[in-house]
A and B are shown apart, each in its own frame.
Chain A
Amino acid sequence: MSMLEVAHLTRRVGEKVLLADAGFTAPLGGVIALVGPNGAGKSSLLRLMSGTMAGPKGATAGRVVLDGVDLLSLKRRERARQLALVEQELRAEFSLTVRQVVALGRIPHESGWAVAGADDGSVDVAMRRAGVLHQSDRLLSTLSGGEQQRVQLARALAQDPRLLLLDEPTNHLDVRAQMDTLGLLREIAADGVTVVAALHDLNLAAAYCDHVVVLDRGRVRSVGGVRETLTPEMIEETYGVSADVLTHPRTGRPLIAFSPALPAPASAATLPDVIVSGRGGVRG
């Protein structure tokens, strides 16, 4: 089976190590979730994997190997034809239509000097795949958060990538838009694109992803299927929260129930105190 192999990615800011020699291996063509608490190094890992941020001076650049090709050793433009990145909370300072945003994804496939872009239909195909074709002449700023996220996905698809990296694609979206976005990621993966997405919501990771990479304080803690990685022990140790892993009654997928470490049901009036002491108890 072909694999995605990520190895030796390190990021330091001053003395602080944000990511220490991180790496993992996962099968191609699925949705891989990157989970871990804030500051665990999810964004750093994605940025380093995308080649848009240099590692520390003097260290080896690391590897992101897809089907035997190290994407980090490619020229920028060549890499941008294989790998797309969708950052968190993207916003433009100018008014762009949906079609104009999606067409940005064709830049790595065009000549930078082109006077008139030859649109070979890839933009329409990308918009159709992401379900935004009917909005192509709308201004991006007039769309909802979930719709804007779809447009960014269409832009990434227009790059025609084999590896798609997303940083918190469900941030600030309502439940429906979150499910919508992850559903789209599953479709993209079904077309053979390997998707790596940093996710806050462990239940979304459990419901939609094939593989999970758990990051904790700059290190990869565990890698594997959802059942192997999303365990009560992992959640207790990395997030400091006690949880039970149940089975979703309809999908059969893991369902994580977090326990607010309370001794007994509390009345609303005493709740704040209880939460403070409860958190302390868990951390200690």
Chain B
Amino acid sequence: MSPVEVAEAAVERQPTTPRQPSRPGRVRPGAWVWWLPVLTLALVASVGWAVTVGPADLSVREVWQVIGAKLGLVESSLSPIRAGIVWELRLPRVLTAAAVGAGLALSGAVMQALTRNPLADPYLLGLSSGASTGAVLVLLVGVSAVLPLAAFAGALAALVLTLLLARSLGEITPTRTVLAGLAVSSFAGAITSLLIFWNARGDAFRQVLNWILGSLAGADWDAVAITWGALLLVGIPLALRGRTLDAFAFGDTAAAALGIDVGRTRWLLLVGTALLTGAMVSVSGAIGFVGLVLPNAVRLVVGFQHRRLLPLSVLAGAIFMVWVDTLARTAFDPREIPVGIITVLVGAPVFVLVLIRNKERA
């Protein structure tokens, strides 16, 4: 027998396993297309519902009357104070929550793909804390006009530091990266607290809580402009690079062999996530685990492909944030808690689950 015949004989014994549809390890393709319209509707419904919830006694009809009047659609008979509660407090807050959730989830999904690390998250890798430090620094100096830029610089510095630190530990593994991120974020968090207390004016404790834990209590129309602006200008281009992110599935060399300019792509996309995280943190402080929880949950449902994962993470992140922020501002009425407490309550157990799923490569 010639070697070719030997080879053919070897090839012919192929279909040893017959089709077994119920076998674990098979996933059903195609179902994901429904998620896009379903989640979009769910987001619109969540926003519409969340603005009607709050301590002030306003009916659903009154709330929508105010919004309709502001948009010039209907006449409003409500007092300016009641109208202001809706237009100046609730609506900007809900809209900001949606953008922050979307931005953090998208940043997490992109970072996970680029670092091949399911534990990557703007909070765990120190970007959020770095952004908080940058933001607090310029607030103390008094140049709040550059707040988002300072937060971006802080996020980028923290990211670079985390990745350098992880690399200096040897082969970059998910847990080493998270440990490096822990060092960076703890340090940045301490600096932030120190800066606030050093320059204490008014309620320093509350400020520290809001920056370290993350809160949307201060969200106004400026916050809406910053977060939605970042989401549209940076988030959309990032979300459209899904196919490029797929190429990183088997590492940098494999991506390069698929025609990707690995160095340039990684740099551009990581700067993009730092910009996005910086913009979100500059209005909300360091809200934790959103970038970890949502992309991992969405990936469980629709699988690996980033053309699906990125847009669905954006929608899921927005919905999640609208709900948890509504909970944060109403559950302990009349007091309000920083929303970051709830996201960490949800996120830390998910973090442990992801850790267990990836334990062989810890």
Interface residues of A (CB under 8 A from B): 47, 50-53, 76-81, 83-85, 87, 90-97, 99-101, 104-105, 107-108, 110, 112-117, 131, 134-135, 137-139, 141-142, 159, 176, 179-180, 182-184, 186-187, 190, 207-208, 250-251, 253
The listed residue (B15, B19, B250) touching A92 by CB distance below 8 A is B250
Q: Is the CB of A93 within 8 A of B358?
A: yes
Q: Is the CB of B307 within 8 A of A115?
A: yes
A residues within 8 A CB of B256?
Answer: 50-52, 76
* CB proximity of A65 to chain B, nearest CB, Å: 19
Besides A108-B258, A139-B27, 6 other A-B contacts (C-beta < 8 A)? A94-B118, A100-B305, A104-B258, A114-B243, A142-B25, A183-B10
A76-B256, A76-B259, A100-B304 known; A110 and B243 CB under 8 Å? yes
Is B8 on the interface with A (CB-CB < 8 A)? yes
Is B1 on the interface with A (CB-CB < 8 A)? yes
Q: Is the CB of A139 within 8 A of B3?
A: no
A104-B246, A115-B240, A138-B26 known; A94 and B257 CB under 8 Å? no
The listed residue (A51, A137, A187) touching B7 by CB distance below 8 A is A187
The listed residue (B10, B240, B361) touching A113 by CB distance below 8 A is B240
**How many Å lie between the Cα of A100 and that of B3 in the bound state?**
32
A52-B256, A77-B259, A176-B10 known; A134 and B17 CB under 8 Å? yes
Interface residues on B, range: 35 or more
* CB proximity of A33 to chain B, nearest CB, Å: 12
* CB proximity of A173 to chain B, nearest CB, Å: 12
Is B88 on the interface with A (CB-CB < 8 A)? no
Q: Is the CB of B304 within 8 A of A183?
A: no
* CB proximity of B311 to chain A, nearest CB, Å: 9
Q: Is the CB of A87 within 8 A of B305?
A: no
Q: Is the CB of A112 within 8 A of B243?
A: yes
Q: Is the CB of B307 within 8 A of A117?
A: yes
Q: Is the CB of B7 within 8 A of A186?
A: yes
The listed residue (A53, A107, A207, A208) touching B258 by CB distance below 8 A is A107
* Nearest 8 Cβ contacts at the A-B interface: A183-B7, A80-B259, A142-B25, A77-B259, A52-B256, A85-B257, A108-B259, A139-B25
* CB proximity of B319 to chain A, nearest CB, Å: 21
Chain B: CB-nearest residue to A74:
B259
* CB proximity of B248 to chain A, nearest CB, Å: 10
Q: Is the CB of A134 within 8 A of B15?
A: yes
* CB proximity of A195 to chain B, nearest CB, Å: 13
Consensus secondary structure, chain B interface: loop
Most chain A CB neighbours (cut-off 10 Å) among B3, B8, B246, B254: B3
Chain A: CB-nearest residue to B357:
A95
Show 25 residue pairs from A and B whose CB-CB distance is below 8 angstroms, ordered by the A residue. Answer: A50-B257, A93-B118, A94-B249, A95-B303, A97-B29, A97-B304, A100-B303, A100-B304, A100-B305, A104-B247, A107-B258, A115-B307, A116-B307, A117-B243, A117-B307, A137-B26, A139-B25, A176-B10, A179-B7, A179-B10, A180-B10, A183-B4, A183-B8, A187-B7, A187-B8
The listed residue (A101, A182, A251) touching B249 by CB distance below 8 A is A101
A108-B259, A134-B19 known; A93 and B247 CB under 8 Å? no
**How many Å lie between the Cα of A134 and that of B1 in the bound state?**
28
A residues within 8 A CB of B254?
Answer: 85, 87, 90, 104
* CB proximity of B87 to chain A, nearest CB, Å: 36
Q: Which of B1-37 contact A (CB under 8 A)?
A: 1-4, 6-8, 10-11, 14-15, 17, 19, 23-29
Chain A: CB-nearest residue to B241:
A112
Chain B: CB-nearest residue to A253:
B3
**How many Å lie between the Cα of A95 and that of B303 in the bound state?**
7
* CB proximity of A57 to chain B, nearest CB, Å: 15
B residues within 8 A CB of A139?
Answer: 25-27
**How many Å lie between the Cα of A212 and that of B24 in the bound state?**
43
